[in-house]
Amino acid sequence: MKLRQSFRLSWRSIRGHRLRSALTTLGVIIGVAAVIAFVALGASLQAGIIGDISPDDQRNLYGWAADPDTEGGPLAGAQFVFTQDDMDDVAELTEVEAAYGYATIDAQSVTYGGETSLQGEGLIAAGPSYIRESSIDEGSQFEMGEREAVINPAAAGQFEENVSVGEDLEIQLATGGTETVTVVGITDASEGLSPFEGFESAPRIYVPTDPFYADQAVGPAAGDGDGDDEATSVRFLAIVVESPTADEDDVDAARAAAIAYLESDEADASEFLGEDLAITLQTSTELLQQLEDILDLLQNFIVGIAAISLVVGSIGIANIMLVSVTERTREIGIMKAVGAQNRDVLGLFLTEAIILGVIGAILGTILGLVAAALGAWYIDLPLVYPLEYVALAIAVGILVGVVSGLYPAWQAAKTDPIDALRYE
Amino acid sequence: MGTSADAVTLTDVRKTYHVGEPVHALDGVSLSIEQGSHTAIMGPSGSGKSTLMNLVGCLDTPTSGEVSVGGNRIAELTDRERTDVRGRDVGFVFQTFNLMPRLTALENVALPQLFQGADREERYDRARDLLERVGLADRAAHLPRELSGGQRQRVALARALVNDPAIVLADEPTGNLDTDTEAEVLDLFETFHDAGTTLIVVTHERHVAERAERIVHLLDGEIEWIEELDDVDGDGHRDADGGDGEEATAALEGESDEQVGEPDDRQPEGR
């Protein structure tokens, strides 16, 4: 018997039991939808994160000092150990393009043109090259030692009148003081620039660590009172070391040189370093790798649970196929009496199970993608849905059909026509 | 013992079932059924009618002896080959019609060809032709449940004939029909028999059996006697007004099974 005929006959009997077929398929639909939704969401999440790392960012090494046993994301367990002198010296190393501290300065609000906007995120203090020339849309980088700022479009656009280069912003700091900064540049995008910030879009104001961090930093390690001038005695929690290029060898060389220097006696940081405190210097990709690993683990876990529902769905198909075989014993007898071979009968029931599986898989894929699209839209991520998923889902549907239909179809095929014709 | 003109030959066929102790459903049956003939098989329940039907219909194999259908010795065939012979050389008509409930009359008639690998157009042309011949051309698109009992049996007959089989096996074909419908269906059987179809009808009703050319009486798994019936008008075309009132033209004197396999004096016609 030809496949097409087999398909038509099977389709007929599926349509003969619409409700039953629909409910049976539902198990597979839910299973496939759950798997697809979580996989697509996971992929979207990863793409969202990785997509935000600009190629330029690839040559930055983000560093902090923490107990090597500390587990967690960037800055977990970090201590204030790096001084401005350390940074200046690291920047002098031949393997290093630039080095500077990174800090956030708590702020309450920003006032521009008499209008005040809350700025709970604070200011981001870093070196000038933290904002690449290439990502500045208008104006220029700020300079160290100046009361200048580079802001992103979200920060510029939050007032009734857009902030433009050359204007002053008044910033109310969390500690109570007020700083006036001159906007010297506006970036081209509102996403964060490094894993220290996070990559989501938000109004951000970037300022030089000197004088802002030096003035405002407070805390046990901020100044050790040894008589140095304030700007150099302030210690940083986080640092950024830039390699000359994004080339992996250059990045590794810069990392090695920076760590070697910071661990040497010449560095102020070295007095705290030891077994309990080690320097971590990683690129965005490396840092995100940890996050991705965690995401992967979580995703595999969820997909695993979703896959269980797929198994349950398969059992549902197997069950209904067994019922169907029993119900249609007489029909099997008739078919065999008029010349159906065992393989024809086997093919017929297997086709039926596969049709149920494939329909479930296709509808499940559609439902899963819709769910993923809604989810991605809700958490503001680009939806990633590789077309392979659809092909894969259909393959899974066929597999589910074969696995769940094989035994019932075999039962049907080996039915004795004499008994079957007598079956009431 | 069979000749080439025999559609079916059985030679010393035994069929033994083991239900606790051995039961001989058929115990040494020899019988030849000539092509184009019309044979009725009668006997009480348990006489072996069904077993004989199953063997001739290639649904079962004998414990010993030889069954040959359309020239194929079925005991020597694999299950698959037997299914092939069944699909090609045997047409079944059942008491309970046994139509596929979700297929239309046309699709039911076309079904046997499906398993022979015929393509759609060919199948439906042939099926339409046969539906026309059983007078149901206008019912082609109806499902079995939308047809009367007589119509269903006519569809079943059309289906049995669709592969142009060597024999048509009818098991109590009128058992579920009222008297008028029964006559209609039996007339139709005769029409096809006149056109050359070999008919084997299992029945326990005398007036149905009397439409045949001979009646094989089974008892306890053996042929009790074979009753040869004279043809009313000598051309194989029996009067159709039949029913119970049909003159018993049966030769009532008992004939023993020595006569089994004796060539019939009639030639197959319509070939």
Contact residues, chain B, for A12 at CB < 8 Å: 102-103
Q: Which residues pair with A241 in a beta bridge?
A: A61, A99
Put simply, whether A421 touches B (Cβ < 8 Å) is yes
Q: Does the beta-carbon distance from A1 to B60 stay under 8 Å?
A: no
Determine, for residues A339 and B116 on separate chains, whether the beta-carbon distance falls below 8 Å: yes
- Residue A166 is predicted with a pLDDT of 87
A331 neighbourhood in chain B, CB within 8 Å: 100-101
Q: Is the pLDDT of residue B168 over 60?
A: yes
Asked whether residue B15 is domain-assigned, the answer is: no
Amino acid, single-letter form, for residue B115? F
Within-domain flag for B71: no
The CA distances from residue B38 to B47, B134, B214, B227, B228, in Å, are 20, 19, 7, 12, 11
The answer to whether residue A134 scores a pLDDT higher than 90 is no
Higher-confidence residue: A39 or A232?
A: A39
pLDDT grade, residue B257 (50/70/90)? very low
Q: Which helix (H) or strand (E) holds B199?
A: strand B199-202
> Average pLDDT, stretch A351-360?
92
CA distances from B53 to A337, A419, B175 (A): 12, 14, 16
Domain extent at residue B135: 35-58+78-259
Residue of A nearest to B61 (CA): A418
pLDDT digits (tens, 9 = 90+) for A191-228: 888 878 877 788 889 999 888 887 765 443 444 444 44
User: Which of A115-119, A174-178, B7-11, B253-257 is predicted with the least confidence, judged by mean pLDDT?
Assistant: B253-257
DSSP classification of residue B229:
B
Residue A326 has pLDDT above 70, yes or no: yes
Measured between beta carbons, the chain B residues lying within 8 angstroms of A421 are 94, 98
What is the pLDDT averaged over residues B77-106? Answer: 91
**Is the predicted pLDDT of residue A10 greater than 60, yes or no?**
yes
Instruction: Give the pLDDT band of residue B167 (cuts 50, 70, 90).
Output: very high
Whether B88 sits inside 8 A of A336 (CB atoms) is: no
In contact, A253 and A247? CB cutoff 8 Å: no
The verdict on residue A73 lying in a domain is no
Min Cα distance A418 → chain B (Å) is 7
A21 and A115 in a single domain? The answer is: no
Name which of A13, A331, A338 is nearest B115 (Cβ-Cβ).
A338
Q: What is the DSSP string of B15-53?
A: EEEEESEEEEEEEEEEEEEETT-EEEEE--TTSSHHHHH
Residue A8 to chain B, least CA–CA distance (Å): 11
CA A311 to chain centroid: 28
Q: Are residues A253 and A202 in the same domain?
A: yes
Q: Which domain holds residue A186?
A: 80-271
A256 contacts: CB under 8 Å, gap ≥ 6: A95
Contacts of A7 (CB under 8 A, 6+ apart): A351, A355
CATH number at residue B215: 3.40.50.300
Distance from CA of B84 to the nearest CA of A (A): 6
Cis omega before residue B144 (within 30°)? Answer: no
Contacts of B94 in chain A (CB under 8 A): 421
Mutation pick from B115, B126, B157, B171 vs chain A, by most beta carbons of A within 10 Å, is B115
Best residue of B85, B109, B111, B164 to probe chain A, by most A CBs closer than 10 Å: B111
- Kindly report the backbone phi and psi dihedral angles of residue B94, in degrees, each rounded to the nearest multiple of 5, phi listed first: -110, 160
Residue B63 — φ and ψ, nearest 5°?
A: -70, -40
Q: Compare all CA atoms of chain A with the CA of B120 and give the residue at the minimum distance.
A: A5
**How far apart, in Å, are the Cα atoms of B222 and each of A393, B39, B253?**
61, 16, 18
- Which residues does residue A180 pair with via DSSP β-bridges, in sequence order? A170
Q: Residues B189-237: pLDDT tens digits? A: 998 898 888 999 999 889 999 999 999 999 999 998 898 887 554 444 4
Predicted pLDDT at A347? 92
For residue A65, being part of any structural domain is answered with no
Q: Are residues A233 and A307 in the same domain?
A: no
Report CB contact under 8 Å: A338, B111. yes
Which residue of A lies nearest to B99 if distances are taken between CA atoms? A334
- CA of B114: which chain A residue's CA is closest? A1
B267 found inside a domain: no
Q: Is residue B1 part of a domain?
A: no
For residue B147, the one-letter residue type is: L
- Whole-angstrom distance, CA of residue A376 vs CA of residue A368: 12
Confidence (pLDDT) at A341: 92
**Which tokens is B31 given?**
């019988």
Average pLDDT value for residue range A291-295: 80
Query: Which positions ≥6 away from A282 have C-beta within 8 Å?
Result: A61, A62, A63, A74
Record: contact B86-A1, CB cut-off 8 A: no
What pLDDT band is residue A234 in, cutting at 50, 70 and 90? confident
pLDDT of residue A129: 87
Across the interface, do B100 and A333 touch by the CB < 8 Å criterion? no
* Residue of chain A with shortest Cα separation from B82: A339
Tell me the nearest-neighbour CA distance from B157 into chain A, angstroms: 12
- CB contacts, 8 Å: A337 with chain B: 57, 59, 86, 92, 98
A109 and A46 fall within a common domain = no
Compute the 3-state secondary structure of chain B and give helix, strand, coil in percent, each to the nearest 5. 35, 25, 40
CA-nearest of B144, B139, B117, B115 to B128 is: B139
Beta pairing partners, A111: A116, A170
Helix (H) / strand (E) containing A118: strand A115-118
**Total structural domains within chain A:** 2
Interchain proximity A421–B88, CB inside 8 Å: no
The answer to whether residue A63 is domain-embedded is no
Instruction: Look over chain B and give the mean of its residue pLDDT values, rounded to a whole number.
Output: 82
Q: Tell me the chain A residues in contact with residue B111 when contact means C-beta distances shorter than 8 Å.
A: 335, 338
In one-letter notation, the amino acid at residue A199 is: F
pLDDT at B83: 92
Asked if A29 and A306 count as a contact pair (C-beta separation under 8 A), the reply is no
Q: How much is the CA Rg of chain A, to the nearest whole Å?
A: 32
Is the residue at B201 inside a domain? yes
Say if B72 is an interface residue toward chain A (CB within 8 Å): no
**Is B94 an 8 Å CB contact of chain A?**
yes
Which residue type, as a one-letter code, is found at position B62?
P
Residues near B158 by beta carbon (within 8 Å), at least 6 away in sequence: B109, B127, B130, B131, B133, B134, B136
Domain match, A237 and A357 both: no
Would the pLDDT of A151 be above 80? yes
Q: Rounded mean pLDDT of A141-160?
A: 87
Per-residue pLDDT at B238 exceeds 50: no
CA dist A346 and A352 (Å) reads 10
Q: Which pLDDT belongs to residue A363?
A: 93
How does residue B126 score in pLDDT terms, banded at 50, 70 and 90? Answer: very high
Residue-level pLDDT at B263: 42
Q: What is the distance between the alpha carbons of residues B205 and B187, in angstroms, rounded to a whole number?
A: 16
Mean residue pLDDT of chain A comes to 84
* Residue B103 in contact with partner chain A when CB distance is under 8 A: yes
- For the cut 80, the answer to whether the pLDDT of residue B243 exceeds it is no
Q: Where are the beta strands (DSSP E) in A43-88?
A: 60-66, 82-83
A58 domain-assigned: no
- ipTM of the predicted assembly exceeds 0.90: no
Question: What is the pLDDT, as a whole number, of residue A302?
Answer: 84
Residue range A336-354: mean pLDDT, rounded: 92
Residue B12 lies in a domain: no
Q: Provide the pLDDT for residue B235.
A: 46
Q: What percentage of chain A reaches a pLDDT higher than 70?
A: 93
Across the interface, do B102 and A12 touch by the CB < 8 Å criterion?
Answer: yes
- Per-residue pLDDT reduced to its tens digit, A373-406: 898 888 878 887 777 777 888 888 899 999 999 9
Q: How confident is the model at residue A350 (pLDDT cuts 50, 70, 90)?
A: very high
Q: Is any Cβ of chain A less than 8 angstroms from the Cβ of B17? A: no
d(CA B99, CA B156): 7
Q: Looking at residues A315-342, what average pLDDT do you find? A: 92
Do residues B31 and B191 touch, judged by C-beta distance below 8 A? no
Answer for the pair B117, A374: CB distance below 8 angstroms, yes or no.
no
Instruction: State whether the Cα torsion A308-A311-A315-A316 is positive or negative.
Output: positive
Give chain B's domain count.
1
How far from the centroid of its chain's Cα atoms is residue B86's Cα?
12
Residue B130's pLDDT is 92
Question: A344, exposed or middle or buried, with CB in 10 Å at 0-12, 13-18, 19+?
Answer: buried
Q: Would residue A66 count as lying in a domain?
A: no
Give the pLDDT confidence score for residue B233 in this predicted structure: 45
The verdict on A305 and A417 lying in the same domain is yes
**Nearest-10 Cα torsion for A373, A378, A380, A381:** -30
* Within-domain flag for B26: no
Cα gap A348→A329, rounded to integer Å: 13
Instruction: Count Cβ–Cβ pairs < 8 Å, chain A vs chain B.
Output: 62
A423 close to B (CB below 8 A): no
CB pair distance less than 8 Å for A418 and B60 = yes
Instruction: Note whether residue B8 is domain-resident.
Output: no
Nearest to A331 among B57, B86, B100 (CB): B100
The pLDDT value given to residue A56: 64
A352 domain residue, yes or no:
yes
Residue A271: CA count within 13 A, CB half-sphere: 10
Rounded to a whole number, what is the distance in Å from the CA of B105 to chain A's nearest CA?
Answer: 14
Residue A278 lies in a domain: no
